[in-house]
Amino acid sequence: MLTELSWGRYIYDVSNSKKGSGWFINRELSWLAFNHRVLQEASSPVNPVIERIRFLGIFSNNLDEFFRVRVANLQRVALVGNKATTTLGFDVKETLAEVSDRVVDLQAEYNVAFERAVADLAKNNIRFVNELELDEDQRAFSANYFKMKIRTHLVPIMIGQGGSFPDLLDGSLYLSVGLVLNKKGKHKTEYAILEVPRHLPRFLVLPSDGSEQVVAFIEDIIRLELPRIFGLFQPEEVVAFAIKVTRDAEIDMDDDLSRSLMEKMRRGVARRKQGDFVRFLYDTEMPKGMLKMLKRNLSLEESENVIPGSRYHNKKDLMDFPNLGRKDLMFARLDPLAHPHLLGKSSLLDQIGKRDILLHYPYHQFGQIVDILREAAIDPTVQSIKINLYRLAQNSQIINALMNASRNGKAVHVVIELSARFDEKHNIKVSNNLQQAGATVEFGVRGLKVHSKLFLITRQINRKIQRIAHVGTGNFHEEKAKVFCDFAFLTSNAQITSEVDRLFQFFSNNYERPVFRSLIVSPFGTRRTFSKLIQREMEHARAGKPARVLLKLNNLVDADMIRKLYAASGAGVRIDLIVRGICSLVPGVKGMSENIQVRSVIGRYLDHARIAVFANDGNPDYYLSSADWMTRNLDRRV
């Protein structure tokens, strides 16, 4: 859905701040506004109801990551002192308080959207039930499922029986259990904690009479069995309420020089599970005594991020809500197309050697990229394959093709980013597999994240060297390519491929600063080049020539680039921005940004490609990019 952004109270004047001049939108509140737009998709009757359920899962997953990363970072900064500010000049403690208030509002709106979606499912003969609503057959089915699938994975932890309070894992769902016991005529409540198994499906489809489909949350199946789980205590009553914690996702890398980067990363990932709390979510129906007990044991009394919720947490699992065979309640299937120049029995590499090819996912088949690497793995003319990797599918065909190439005697050189957030563990595993297959594996450049999406295939044909390059906006990830809108540019252009090769040389020998003419590479020239291109449009506007800048980004945060866009607007340049996520620029302010229009695209697919277009007096320049206009992308990533 294409919408103009409504900023409301998220606009702030920080002209007197240390970071200086102009108007900006608070980054964190802008992100929450973005996630609110995702929530609006979950409420939109335009979307089929099962897709609305899945949008609710996306919203929840987004919010989890926001707390793990952004809120955690703000809490660390707040420890510096009372006057700590963000890079755009906003008071950190005030921002944390506003975030907390806004999240409570969003949580309430989310609960309403969930109840509406559940009601609409019921209208379509799909009914959610809890443990009290099961008929006799469903209870028997649930009891058997519990016995066969769930029971062996449950580890009840009693509170106050000599042991310490359990370490609650980030992202796990727990039941806080209250046992009402009768001891010598006096009632006493004992407490226990029970983790809901993470590896089991969250939703259980129950038997029904055929007129409807019945679905239950797995924790309700556990609730049904609580009297038997705690039968030892002979409780008069057993109650259970869902809780969830979110922890700081920052990885603490030790300074032990004797350890390799991979070992440091492995240890850091393991420690992440015990990061500081940044959010505690609980059921509003929870008794006050139970909530007090939990807050005391978790030292949460002073926390601003104790957030009331509904009966069910961890609703990110709604992203995997079963389709139940109801195609009428989902988006119509759209099969990706094969690019016509990558069809047939002829060599794919030969086809790219004849012409440049642009793929657009998910409308084109990502599998053709896999096919190119598979062909390169067995093509006798191929000497080497170089590739840099950031995020990968769990069972990556890309990795299989690279391992096959190495086993076939090709020189396979892989630059893999170990610190791709939340993918560190998988990337460590992939690195080991590649090394065992004989590939050369490097871990990027110290102090920089390698975020580019490149590969380079070198061939020798009739004693001549030919290079084939891939320059993309998205990861080499088969599953993400089904839902992320991204571009992949394939070329044998000598200038471009030589510069891609130069960049791979920099990854291995980064003591010398490379020079590029066709590529714009962070951190060497992206900020400078785009600033010059904006300046050129300003000069055209002042000369009375048509002047326009079109940017499509995931996030626009960098203060200097925002000020540059404000200056261009003041010079008369028309600026159209399509920003999916965070936008700290304020559009439409007279005397500052009246020539700037901002829109956001939220919908079935995740708009991920970054595009920049500069009118250049009728001879426009077009750029594809893997970098947003954020300080880290411009200055600290490749």
DSSP character for 462? Answer: T
Bridge partners of residue 464, in order along the sequence: 461
Judge contact between 271 and 252, C-beta under 8 A. Answer: yes
As a 3-state breakdown, the chain gives helix, strand, coil percent values, each rounded to 5, of 40, 25, 35
Give the up-direction half-sphere exposure of residue 257: CA atoms within 13 A in the CB hemisphere. 0
- What one-character DSSP code corresponds to residue 150? I
Is the peptide bond preceding residue 362 cis, with omega within 30 degrees of 0?
A: yes
Q: 442 near 507, Cβ under 8 Å?
A: yes
- Is 561:530 a contact under the CB 8 Å cutoff? yes
What are the angstrom distances between the C-alpha of 263 and each of 170, 257, 266, 371, 429?
22, 11, 5, 33, 12
CB 250 within 8 A of CB 203: no
Contact of 499 with 519, CB cutoff 8 Å: yes
Residue 240, token pair as written in the block: 């259970």
Asked whether the beta carbons of 318 and 297 are under 8 A apart, the reply is no
The catalytic residue positions are 451
Query: How many whole angstroms separate alpha carbon 315 and alpha carbon 55?
Result: 10
Distance CA 476, CA 469 (A): 14
d(CA 79, CA 387): 41
Q: How many angstroms separate the Cα of 277 from the Cα of each of 64, 252, 260, 295?
A: 12, 15, 29, 12
